[in-house]
Amino acid sequence: FFLNSRFEQLLEIRSSGRNVVQDRTIYEDAYIFAPNLHAMGLMTTRDFENYFRLFKNMDSAVTPPDLMIYLRASVPNLVNQIAERGREYESTISIDYLKRLHERYEAWITTYDKGKVLIIDVDENAFHTNPEDLGKIINSIDAEVHGLFPNEAPAKPATAKKKAAKKK
């Protein structure tokens, strides 16, 4: 159900033609949450293997994001954030569960090869309450997406310059 829902979201995003910031990706579902459920015994091996095969088929039809933004936070910080939000359905999340997810996220982000990655250390800033920290992050995102000098024309490769010089 979750894999199909995430895939439908991606198809909708593609057909809309809009630029979208997505909170969670299909990759996290496949590389973090499903394996974690399997390891916890909440998903059978047969279901996990079927899930992952289906994900691989979907992955071939998915356009990866232009920029993956990874919000890195320590487990104590995650616990504090959950407590601050005060959502009843999050109150039963165990620290062991958070640790397992954290380990899986850290392992996954080091192997992510679908495109650009920007890692933001949430422990080192308070972008949700500090406009200066948020501004730094927005500038980092702009630099990753548009380059440091987005208004300049892209430089021509050296071989193109040599060919242009020969024509004169």
CB 105 within 8 A of CB 32: yes
Clarify whether 23 is annotated catalytic.
Answer: yes
Residue with tokens 């050296």: 158
- Angle (CA) 7 138 30, round 5°: 25
SS3 150: coil
Catalytic annotation, pick one of 23, 47, 59, 123: 23
- Cα–Cα distance between 127 and 71 in angstroms, integer? 11
Active-site annotation, residues: 23
